[in-house]
Amino acid sequence: MDYEVLGLFMAVLLWVAWALITERRHRQLEELGRLPPGPRWWPVVGNIFQLGWSPHESFAKLARSHGPIMTLWLGSMSTVVISSQEVAREMFKNHDVVLAGRKIYEAMKGDHGNEGSLITAQYGPHWRMLRRLSTTEFFVTSRLDATRGVRERCIDRMVRFIEEAGACGSKPVDVGRFFFLMAFNLIGNLMFSKDLLDPKSESGAKFFFHAGKVMELAGKPNVADFLPVLRWVDPQGIRRKTQFHVERAFEIAGGFIVERMESMEKVETEDKDKRKDFLDVLLEFRGNGVEEPSKFSSRTINVIVFEMFTAGTDTTTSTLEWAMAELLHNPKTLKKVQSELRRTINLGEKLDERDIENLPYLKAVIKETLRLHPPLPFLVPHMAMDACKMLGYYIPKETQILVNVWAIGRDPKTWEDPLKFKPERFLEPNMRDYKGHHFEFIPFGSGRRMCPAVPLASRVLPLALGSLLLSFDWVLADGMKPDDMDMSERMGITLRKAVPLKVIPIPFKGGHFGD
């Protein structure tokens, strides 16, 4: 028999065997309990072909037919999708612990497990220690107040770079690129007290490159996640490529850590009371991981550093670029928020972080952007750590839980004119916040696995956006009209604009703030 024919015959046999195994598993789960309703699935592939290029939108459409809690099969991966505030409230109020696990995709699986990861570590004592560290050391009010100057300097530099790139209002700029560079340097300053992206930092530029590659790969659909039989093959090479770039980034971060430890040994005792950055805090917890298991290993510190960059840059960039796009798409709203800024801030002065509380419309613009364009439309996937029942439905152990916050934020049962960009809705008396208590508006999640960096984001987002709106008037490039803007989405690690926003910054004649 021809070897090619034999190979094809064996592939078909494997496919049929896998189809039978998958179907049997589906049936067994259905017999164990009443799963949430959902569309019919195909053998082996399940509902994968119903995902489309915008799964958050595809799932929202399916939810209209099958309900706000539904079961989908992504290959052999059982998935429950939540698409309403009522079900989200039930999940986070009454089932938060059992559903606090993490579904780990292949790209996230490192050779050393998930040691040190606040994002992907399973819920348990080690994760709780990491969480406690982030809330009491990194994102506590006193530390955020102490680093206010760091944020303002990074944003001031962004404004200057945009002014230079725009050549005094004659050239369009890609604002998303400048937002990303600002966010990356901000995390670099908070972690290491230095700009990582400047002409003198070759290692910083390399770290930036490898971190960007990891984010790019993490946003790609991976067939190995849906068909476990292919995991050992890694047919798209996503896990292999991701781990290559992760290891290179770890090597560079490790160099920063060694450099800091050597400098710490030279510091005189009286100088040790200087302001600590995040790396100083992490090094205080450093142990060898064996005799001192309660402390952090060097690997753990590397993971925390890397996650700070990947989690903090893309989400910030996505939100700020969408905010600028929506304002340019809605000129009356743009004029209104700029009027508020220019009435509140004296001519020639820069926006101070302490001014934000006196700028309710600016804050409402940020909230409205997060409602329409949450950076992570499904949050970070949850997982059932044990079987449970929710709203009368059976949720099997290891089921992936996706909370479609994109759909919840556009639910016409909750929001009037849900597709309209209308910041005024967040000026109403019962004003919603994004701290996880208003389940119709949870862009950062809720419960135990809620994003711990919300206090930082609530300062950076309005300050960065407000500084650009105060410093410049903005004109669409090539004579484009607001109604002609492409407002379509592109799914990656975050929900970005499909077409980058290019716009001309015209320095406001009231004067540009100084250094």
Q: Which of 24-28, 176-180, 505-509 has the lowest mean pLDDT?
A: 24-28
Residues in the chain: 515
Report the C-alpha gap between 488 and 415 in whole angstroms. 21
Closest CA to 410 of 350, 368, 473, 361: 368
Average pLDDT over residues 204-217: 84
Closest CA to 99 of 115, 117, 116, 80: 80
CA dihedral 70, 495, 315, 240 (to 10 degrees): 90
Q: Residue 337 is which amino acid? A: V
| Largest distance between two CA atoms of the chain | 85
Name the more confident of 52 and 18: 52
Strand partners, 505: 474
Instruction: Report phi then psi at 206, rounded to 5.
Output: -65, -40
Residue 53 has a pLDDT of: 84
Task: State how beta strands 400-403 and 388-390 pair.
Answer: unpaired
Instruction: Report phi then psi at 174, rounded to 5.
Output: -85, 95
User: Does the pLDDT of residue 288 top 60, yes or no?
Assistant: no
Report pLDDT digits (tens) over 214-233: 888 877 788 888 877 777 78
- What average pLDDT is seen over the chain? 86
Residue 289 has a pLDDT of: 46
Report pLDDT digits (tens) over 464-491: 999 999 999 999 988 899 999 999 998 8
Residue 115 has a pLDDT of: 65
Residue 3 has a pLDDT of: 47
User: Does the pLDDT of residue 512 top 50, yes or no?
Assistant: no
Q: How many CB atoms lie within 10 A of CB 275?
A: 11
Q: Which of 41-55, 76-90, 195-209, 225-239 has the highest mean pLDDT?
A: 76-90
Report the C-alpha gap between 396 and 320 in whole angstroms. 38
Report pLDDT digits (tens) over 132-156: 989 998 999 999 999 999 999 999 9
Write down the pTM of the prediction: 0.89
Domains of the chain: 33-507 (1.10.630.10)
Sheet architecture: strand order including 502-507: 173-174, 502-507, 472-476
Name the more confident of 206 and 509: 206
Report the C-alpha gap between 66 and 63 in whole angstroms. 5
Residue 303 has a pLDDT of: 86
Average pLDDT over residues 249-276: 69
388 in a labelled binding site: no
CA dihedral 54, 60, 65, 69 (to 10 degrees): 120
Q: Which of 27-31, 75-79, 90-94 has the highest mean pLDDT?
A: 90-94
Report the C-alpha gap between 273 and 48 in whole angstroms. 55
